[in-house]
Amino acid sequence: MEDLNQLATYVRSMARKYDLWSAHDCIVVAVSGGPDSVALLHALHQIAWEPGSSLRLVCAHVNHGFRGAESDAEADFVRDAADRLGIPFELGSYDVPAFIEETGLSLQTAAREKRYEFLHSIADKYHASAIALAHHGDDQAETVMLRLLRGTGMTGLAGMRIKRREKNVELIRPLLRIYKTDLIRVCHNCGLAYVTDSSNLSNKYARNAVRLDVLPFLGQYNGQLAESLNRLAEVAGEEDDYMHQAAKEVYGRLARPAEGGIAFSAKDFGRLHAALQRRLIKLILNYLPLNTDDIDFLKIEVIRERILQEFPSNWSLDLGGGLQCKREYDEVSILPEITDKVKLEYTYRLEEVPARLPIPETGRELRFTLRPRDAQSTESDWKASGNDEALFDADKIKYPLIVRSRQPGDIMKVMGLNGSKKVKDIFIDQKIPPSVRQNIPVVTDATGRILWLPGVRRSAHAAIGNHTSSILRMQVDREGGR
C-alpha cells in the first residue's frame, strides 16, 4: 500500500464487506497522533468527501496525563490536524494516575477505561453511529499473543473484532487486516506528519514487552508470525461466532426462567457436547447480573463437572457476584442468591367441613367436602384420582383438622407400609426438590396424626373400608392461594 488513495480504497472495501457505516452517518475517529490513527483520519476524510458518501467525522483525542508536556504537545498536534481538515475536534483530559490510585486498576486498564468513557460521551454528543479505532494487524497479533500467554479460550483467540457493538455504538476497526509498515509508508509517501509516543518504547508494560521482546524472539522461528496470529484470530473469530450461535439455539431449547434466574435439565445438559456445555454455562452467566470479569474457564468447568456428577443429586454452589448454582434432582438452576429467605411457619384450624382453605404462604388452596357412601357407590367413587386428592373415612377423623407448615421430625404412618416414615425421607423418595418442600402443607387431625401431604402422599389413617358410611375428600389446588 503506497498512498492515501489506495488506503481509502481499502478502507472503503472493508466498510462494504463488514457494513461499517452508511451514507450520512457520523463517525467519531479516535486519533492518538501516531501514524496509524493519522492515516485512518485522512483516509476517512477522503471518503467523506466522495459523492454519495456525506460522512460526518469528529476527531477525538485523549490526554491521559502521563507524560506532561509531551502529552500536551500531542493534543495540540491532533487539534491542528483536525483543523486543517475542517473536522470538529474534541479533547478529553484525565488524571489517569490519580484514577489508578483511587481504583487500584493497572495503568493500561485504567487508561483504556477512561479513553472509552470519553469516546462514548463524544459519540452521544454528536449522535454518532460508530467510533473508528486505528488498531491494525500488528496490534491484533500482540493482542492474540497476550491472551495466549495469560490463558484464553476461543473467544480470546479471536482477538479484536472489526466491528463490535458497545453501548448502542459500533466500534469499527477498518485497518485490522493491514500492518503498521503499510500505514507508515502511506504517511511518508503522502507527507502526513505524525508523532511517536515515547512510552511505546518502554517494555515495562505487558503489551510493549510482547511487541518489543516476545514477538521478535518468536519471529526467529516464523518469519510470518504476525500474519499467522492474524489468521488464527480470523479463523477463531468465525468459529467463535458459530459456537455462540449454536449455544443460543441450545439455550432456546433447554433453558427456562426460574426464580429470577435460569433453569435447565441436567439430563438434557449431559447429552450436549462438552464444548456446548461450556458455552451454555457461559451464555447463562452472561445473561445474569454477574461481573463478567469473573467468568473464567475454571469457574465454568467447576459448574459443568458438578452438573455431570450423578451423585449427589441435590447441592448448591456459590458462584460469587451474588449468584448461586443449585441442583435439585434433574433440575439445575443458576440464579441470584436469596440471603433473606424466611422459613414459612403457619397453622390453620378447620372446625367443620365442607370448607375451602387458601394458604397464601404456599400459593395453594385446600378443599374439603363430605359425601355419604350409599349402596349405589362403586369402588371408583372411593378411590383418589391422584396425589392431588385423598379420601378418608370421615367417621375415623377427629376434629378440628389442622393444616400447618412442616416441622422437624415430622413422621407419617404410610399407606402400604408396616410402620411410619419421616416426612423428610418421603420427600426424598418422591424426589421433591428441597426448594419446593416448604411449600407443601401438612394436614393432621386433632390428635396430631398426619393424614396427608397434599400433592405427595396420604397416610394409612382413616382408610376407607366396607363399613365406611361417609367419605371426607381432600383436594389441593396448586395455584389457588396466590
Per-residue pLDDT of the chain (482 residues; tens, 9 = 90+): 789 999 999 999 999 999 999 999 999 999 999 999 999 999 999 999 988 888 999 999 999 877 778 889 999 999 999 999 999 999 999 888 888 888 888 888 888 999 999 999 999 999 999 999 999 999 999 999 999 998 888 999 999 999 999 999 999 999 999 999 999 999 999 999 999 888 777 787 888 999 999 999 999 999 999 999 999 999 999 999 999 999 999 999 999 998 889 999 999 999 999 999 999 999 999 888 765 555 788 889 999 999 999 888 888 888 887 888 999 999 999 988 765 455 678 899 999 899 999 988 888 899 999 988 775 666 666 688 888 999 999 999 999 999 999 998 899 998 777 789 999 989 988 888 887 888 899 999 999 999 999 999 999 999 988 888 999 999 998 654 43
Instruction: Indicate the helix (H) or strand (E) that contains 56.
Output: strand 56-63
Q: For residue 292, give the nearest of 304, 303, 281, 302 by alpha carbon.
A: 281
The per-residue pLDDT for 291 is 52
According to the annotation, is 294 in a ligand binding site?
Answer: no
User: Which residue, among 386, 339, 344, 370, has the nearest Cα to 481 in the 3D structure?
Assistant: 344
| 35 annotated as ligand-binding | yes
Fold annotation for 4-222: Rossmann fold (3.40.50)
Residues in the chain: 482
pLDDT value at position 76?
A: 96
Q: Phi, psi at residue 130, to the nearest 5°?
A: -150, 155
| pLDDT of res. 14 | 97
The identity of residue 84, as a single letter, is R
Which three cell numbers mark 455?
400433592
Is 86 annotated as belonging to a binding site?
Answer: no
| pLDDT at residue 361, rounded to an integer | 82
pLDDT for 481: 42
Listed by start position, the domains of the chain span: 4-222, 255-336, 347-477
Binding residue per annotation — 213?
no
Give the helix/strand (H/E) hosting 274. helix 274-287
Q: What's the topology of domain 255-336? A: 3.30.465
Instruction: Using CB atoms within 10 Å of the CB of residue 97, give its burial: 0 to 12 exposed, 13 to 18 middle, 19+ buried.
Output: middle
**Long-range contacts made by residues 49-54, C-beta under 8 angstroms, separation at least 24?**
52/23, 53/23, 54/23, 54/24
Residue 51, marked binder: no
* The pLDDT of residue 105: 85
Q: What is the pTM of this model?
A: 0.75
Contact 355, 476 (CB under 8 A): no
Confirm or deny that 33 is annotated as ligand binding: yes
- DSSP string over 161-227: -SEEEETTEEEE-TTTTS-HHHHHHHHHHHT------GGGG-TTSHHHHIIIIIHHHHTTT-TTHHH
